[in-house]
Structure 1
Amino acid sequence: MQAKEDNQESEGVSCHYWSLFDGHAGSGAAVVASRLLQHHITEQLQDIVEILKNSAVLPPTCLGEEPENTPANSRTLTRAASLRGGVGAPGSPSTPPTRFFTEKKIPHECLVIGALESAFKEMDLQIEQERNAYNISGGCTALVVICLLGKLYVANAGDSRAIIIRSGEIIPMSSEFTPETERQRLQYLAFMQPHLLGNEFTHLEFPRRVQRKELGKKMLYRDFNMTGWAYKTIEDDDLKFPLIYGEGKKARVMATIGVTRGLGDHDLKVHDSNIYIKPFLSSAPEVRVYDLSKYEHGADDVLILATDGLWDVLSNEEVAEAITQFLPNCDPDDPHRYTLAAQDLVMRARGVLKDRGWRISNDRLGSGDDISVYVIPLIHGNKLS
């Protein structure tokens, strides 16, 4: 598991960056992504930086020289944006007549979202191309946050989670991508490309494993185009192992992996077979946007990023309660108060060692997974510290 907070800067637009990577089947993909994804993001943002600078009212600290005491986690973006399609200025020879040419109005927010999506794709492609040369093992989930021009962009591929706690209110900033949440996408892909199943799996879902004695009988099922359940007559193909099997944290794609988005996993196969699982795993993140300038934020309003080791045992409400209890009891001038709050969350999720193992509140089982947590303050509208 790798955590990253960027601390590079140059002349241009200020951009803050945080990231969490939770590796599986080896640490290689997580290590590489933690070092290089930020550069792919910067490269993509540099293509649009002039558009963003020239079309937005920016805070004084976002343009030109950085003031003293610039936060250590800031990155600035430079380089003129180019319209790769080659469209010229109005009246130029390359500009088609108006009646033959219309252009969509693209919100700046969508340009940033597209830059993040493209960066994740490029990072995954680099891992694929270099995995043998550099022995890049396994895969990883990726949760990235950038603060750009007064907005937070949270990009998530995997089962880590981000939430904002503002005046005690919980604002979810990500979704978890698991075999259950992405059932319809996975089933549709298998339906369209049945060869990916290797003649060993069925794309249909049943409440339980179908047995041979049930041939010819009716059983509940659902397909990619269904949210509900219906009956079908069981056939020979239905006896194959289901594409998605199990429920909750035990749900797996092809009985192998429990997350459906992330980076890497290009060599992952079903056990004792030549069936690759990567076609079902997407590197595309979901990106959510939070406009910092729309709200007044106090010193105890925070953005929390954490891997599934925390969320497996603590709910959003429990985390929010812990934060709202912990931060007010800290010295407001203590520069480590947010780090201490993150440590407190880790300890709450791990629990206390008792006779029957690690236990948390109400004698529940503590987390046995890796846990990484960021607690990031949201302060003074469009400034993050």
Structure 2
Amino acid sequence: MQTPDELKAAGNAAFSAGRFAAACEHYSAAIAVLDQHPSPGRELAVLYCNRAAAQLKLQDFAAALQDCGAALAVQPRWAKALYRRTAALQGLGQLGPAAEAAKQALAAEPGNKDVQALLRQLEAALAAVAPTAGTASSPPADPTAAAKPAPTAALLPPLLAGAAFEYVPPADGIHENLLLLFHGLGDRPAAFARMARQMALPQTAALALGGLQEVPFSDGGRSWHTVFDDEFNLIEGRPGERRRVDSLLQTVAALRQLLANLQHAGGWQPHKVSLLGFSQGGTVALELARQQQAAGQPLRSCVAISAALLPEQLAERQQQGAKGGSQGGKQSGTAALITHGSRDNVVRRALVDQTADVLRSAHGMGVTVHSVAGKAHSMPQGPDEMRQLMQFWSQHLSRRPTAADLPAGAAAAGGELLERSAAAMGQYLSSPNTDQESVAGTHERLGAYGVVSMQGWRKSQEDAHIAEHLSDDCHIFGVFDGHGGPEVALFCSRRMPLELKRHPAFAAGAFEESLKQVFHRMDELMRSREGFTELEVLRRECEGGKEPDGNEEDTYDMLRKLVQLQRMTGGQQGEGKGSMDEPALQPEITIQAGCTAVVALIVHDQLYVANAGDSRAVLCRGGKAVPMSEDHKPAQPDERARIMAAGGFLSEIGGITRVNGNLNLSRAIGDLRYKMNNELEPKDQIITAEPDVLTQRLTRDDSFLVLACDGIWDVMDNQQVVDFVHQRLAKGIAPRDIASELLNSCLANDPREARGIGCDNMTAAIVVFEPSSGPLRHGSCSCGARSDEAEHALANGHHTCGSGSGGASSGSADTSMREATPVPDAAPPAAAAAAKA
């Protein structure tokens, strides 16, 4: 049987090796032996204090506090036990008692600088949460979550002294998590601080840090570790070269000291700290998380975008992992997510996989690798990629329930955090933009129409629409609800009418087929160089104030050109060594954005509605809503079968079925990364632009048609919208004004209270069929029958129009393409409108 001294020595050795759970076991065994001694004395207090230190490393603050009490029962004025008691109380969020314990420790050892620093931090935190005059004096349930002081330059260790940083306090005022952000090569922390503000992760403060070194010729861009030698040649991949690794390890050592400072002077425990890094900054984040894990101080989570450990490190770590195996003990592993684009020419996928293997096998970290089809080396672009990050954080960030999160006193649903996080990541404005864009007009063969769109609570407008007269007897209306950006919706609104008129099926009168083909034609055009260029122009035009995207490829390309220029102007003799030339990048043609589309084509008396996605069209017939489209959702059996057959997968996130963890719809134009299987027809891809086309022959009972995006249908059902429009038409209100009222009526007062309902972009088109001039109101059907005769025959089931495959003759579309001039809305006669419905 081992003696207490031997067990204590084994515990100390385990502690020094970072095996804190094993250390606790050895100390516990020694305590059990000494407990049998009639007067264990000081040695028992030492064991309790040592075990408390190990429990603090494991973040078991309650057990540590109990052990500190046992030690202090033997030695009441022992500064070390008082200091550890302070740390345990701080970890439990008991700032007042922690400050008192710190004062006792300082009284026992006045010169202890660690205790002095900790006491200052505790007093600052207490002052921050102290009630002001005239406010309630009851403290928050957890002061550490309620407020923490903003980090200052004094917390930076010597190596980071002078480095730029920017702190972003939590948007909701709850200091539950701290997110450290590391930029890519040649960037600055300001861009990542803006990103943190836009994401507005719940209960999360953010600290964007700047690299230690300045990148040559980059106008203030920073680097986290050495990249070039003294002659500005890249040092990557040189045999025996360790400057990169040594520089990285030096940086990470400084960052670990910063973490310690944040813990002791800022109250941020390691298990509440998460990391986010891009490319070179992602390498730093991964190495920092690895070292913290190895030291038994695992962080909360780590996200590395287009990043991996350095190849030199991987070789070393793989050897160490093969010899030593994974770590034991009870510690939990840091959750890590590494994202990588299939067209990333800077970080190879093999390095990403090797990094994941090393972190899993040698360090017990939970690592997920997420591949993004068609994406190059860049920060996340669009809500689909951001949703992947938000999903990860919703699962791994700590969350403290608040009154707002507990409907009817119950805990919020697990998926609600994801949806609320996605809503809080910058999609919503502080107040809605209620400016409206509208178009209105009349046509002698159709009637009055009005289309209105409004940005609403969203930070950008991604809807677009069309309302055009292709000829006297042919009219097209459409609503395009964009996602991932506005460019695809705008592209469709500009290109679709022209491409439809050009299509041979349209000229032949096969209108249903021409609508189907023109939807797919949009995807074809976007794959062309001309189409991609047009999309890029549209995207840039809509961006306005463009945020830096942290594209490290651009930095390397710029550096290559500048270095070559310097060599030429400096008269240097190029010897070909250390060349920065790399294989040319392929043009990025995978479109990240997409849009739903609902398009109505009215050819004389025939209505065709093509739909892909969850926008919707509804016809008012005799006052009743007649659906002219069906929403396309991944959970529908036919949609599910196609997605699975094409190699996609479905996941339930927050009660919503999503395709490949992202899109909550199954058909759309654009989204080309889901349409890359060359062995499948366009209609069979994971996400397809194939529309359903419904047709109706218009009669005197048909009053109007409504087309709208899901921002409307999320708030009202079909019949409610029909009733809303009908009631106002009966009062003589013009279609454009009705559409405007409809949008305002659907707009939410508060996104949080509405849970996102009524907070989307909104677009509605109302087409009124005038009784005196609309389809089948006078004249003849396209087959030659007079309208009254045709309607009588239709009512009795006898009339058949032999007008071709589309239901209208090829001659019914006037190829002169004359377009009526839009005029201000003319309200239909109230009595006639009321009589129709």
**Cα distance, 1:343 vs. partner?**
1.1
2:625–2:718 contact (8 Å) kept in structure 1: yes
- Find out whether 1:158 has 2:560 as its counterpart: no
- What is the CA–CA distance in structure 1 between the aligned matches of 2:523 and 2:634, rounded to whole Å? 20
Instruction: Pick closer, same or farther for the CA change 1:281–1:324 going to 2, 3 Å.
Output: same
- Find out whether 1:177 has 2:570 as its counterpart: no
- Find out whether 1:35 has 2:494 as its counterpart: yes
Structure-2 residue corresponding to 1:114: 513
Instruction: Return the match for 2:729 from 327, 333, 348.
Output: 327
Structure-1 residue corresponding to 2:465: 3
State the percentage of identical aligned residues.
26
The AA in structure 2 aligned to 1:245 is E
Structure-2 residue corresponding to 1:291: 697
- Find out whether 1:344 has 2:735 as its counterpart: no
1:305-336 Cα deviation digits (max 9, x unpaired): 000000011111221221232221235xxxxx
1:123-161 Cα deviation digits (max 9, x unpaired): 111112246444365111111111113101111111001
1:223-263 Cα deviation digits (max 9, x unpaired): xxxxxxxxxxxxxxxxxxxx242487x22111110111111
Structure-1 residue corresponding to 2:551: none
1:76-107 Cα deviation digits (max 9, x unpaired): xxxxxxxxxxxxxxxxxxxxxxxxxxxxxxxx
Structure-1 residue corresponding to 2:719: 317
- What is the CA–CA distance in structure 1 between the aligned matches of 2:473 and 2:720, rounded to whole Å? 34
The 5 Å alignment of 1:213-232 reads none
- What is the CA–CA distance in structure 2 between the aligned matches of 1:365 and 1:246, rounded to whole Å? 16
**Cα distance, 1:282 vs. partner?**
0.7
Structure-1 residue corresponding to 2:525: 126
- What is the CA–CA distance in structure 1 between the aligned matches of 2:516 and 2:491, rounded to whole Å? 18
Structure-1 residue corresponding to 2:269: none
Structure-1 residue corresponding to 2:413: none
- Find out whether 1:245 has 2:652 as its counterpart: yes
Structure-2 residue corresponding to 1:141: 596
- What is the CA–CA distance in structure 2 between the aligned matches of 1:290 and 1:187, rounded to whole Å? 29
- What is the CA–CA distance in structure 2 between the aligned matches of 1:286 and 1:34, rounded to whole Å? 19
1:186–1:280 contact (8 Å) kept in structure 2: no
**Cα distance, 1:304 vs. partner?**
0.4
Instruction: Pick closer, same or farther for the CA change 1:8–1:171 going to 2, 3 Å.
Output: closer
2:629–2:694 contact (8 Å) kept in structure 1: yes
Structure-1 residue corresponding to 2:775: 382
Instruction: Pick closer, same or farther for the CA change 1:48–1:160 going to 2, 3 Å.
Output: closer
Instruction: Return the match for 2:661 from 255, 273, 287.
Output: 255
Structure-2 residue corresponding to 1:20: 479
SS of the residue 1:6 aligns to:
strand
**Cα distance, 1:33 vs. partner?**
0.8
Structure-1 residue corresponding to 2:672: 266
Instruction: Pick closer, same or farther for the CA change 1:166–1:137 going to 2, 3 Å.
Output: same
The AA in structure 1 aligned to 2:709 is T
TM-score when normalising by structure 2: 0.28
Instruction: Pick closer, same or farther for the CA change 1:287–1:156 going to 2, 3 Å.
Output: same
Instruction: Pick closer, same or farther for the CA change 1:175–1:357 going to 2, 3 Å.
Output: same
- What is the CA–CA distance in structure 2 between the aligned matches of 1:321 and 1:289, rounded to whole Å? 22
2:592–2:672 contact (8 Å) kept in structure 1: no
1:196-234 Cα deviation digits (max 9, x unpaired): 35xxx5xxxxxxxxxxxxxxxxxxxxxxxxxxxxxxxxx
- What is the CA–CA distance in structure 2 between the aligned matches of 1:382 and 1:313, rounded to whole Å? 31
**Cα distance, 1:14 vs. partner?**
3.0
**Cα distance, 1:268 vs. partner?**
5.8
- What is the CA–CA distance in structure 2 between the aligned matches of 1:285 and 1:176, rounded to whole Å? 11
- What is the CA–CA distance in structure 1 between the aligned matches of 2:739 and 2:753, rounded to whole Å? 19
Between structures 1 and 2, the one with greater strand share: 1
Instruction: Pick closer, same or farther for the CA change 1:25–1:15 going to 2, 3 Å.
Output: same
**Cα distance, 1:172 vs. partner?**
0.6
Structure-2 residue corresponding to 1:373: 764
Question: RMSD of the alignment, in Å?
Answer: 2.8
- Find out whether 1:186 has 2:640 as its counterpart: yes
- What is the CA–CA distance in structure 1 between the aligned matches of 2:746 and 2:611, rounded to whole Å? 22
1:338–1:375 contact (8 Å) kept in structure 2: yes
The AA in structure 2 aligned to 1:123 is M
Instruction: Pick closer, same or farther for the CA change 1:379–1:247 going to 2, 3 Å.
Output: farther
Query: Which segment is superposed worse, 370-379 or 135-144?
Result: 135-144
1:142–1:158 contact (8 Å) kept in structure 2: yes
SS of the residue 1:176 aligns to:
coil
1:27–1:137 contact (8 Å) kept in structure 2: no
Structure-2 residue corresponding to 1:66: none
Q: Based on CA coordinates, which of the two structures has the bigger radius of gyration?
A: 2
- What is the CA–CA distance in structure 1 between the aligned matches of 2:514 and 2:470, rounded to whole Å? 19
The AA in structure 1 aligned to 2:477 is W
**Cα distance, 1:32 vs. partner?**
0.9
Instruction: Pick closer, same or farther for the CA change 1:38–1:327 going to 2, 3 Å.
Output: same
1:18-59 Cα deviation digits (max 9, x unpaired): 111111111111111110011121112x5454x55xxxxxxx
Unaligned segments of structure 1, at least 5 residues: 53-110, 202-242, 270-277, 332-336
- What is the CA–CA distance in structure 2 between the aligned matches of 1:137 and 1:320, rounded to whole Å? 35
- What is the CA–CA distance in structure 2 between the aligned matches of 1:48 and 1:279, rounded to whole Å? 25
Instruction: Pick closer, same or farther for the CA change 1:347–1:113 going to 2, 3 Å.
Output: same
- What is the CA–CA distance in structure 2 between the aligned matches of 1:259 and 1:113, rounded to whole Å? 23
- What is the CA–CA distance in structure 2 between the aligned matches of 1:253 and 1:125, rounded to whole Å? 22
**Cα distance, 1:190 vs. partner?**
2.4
- What is the CA–CA distance in structure 1 between the aligned matches of 2:643 and 2:753, rounded to whole Å? 41
- What is the CA–CA distance in structure 2 between the aligned matches of 1:137 and 1:150, rounded to whole Å? 39
- Find out whether 1:304 has 2:706 as its counterpart: yes
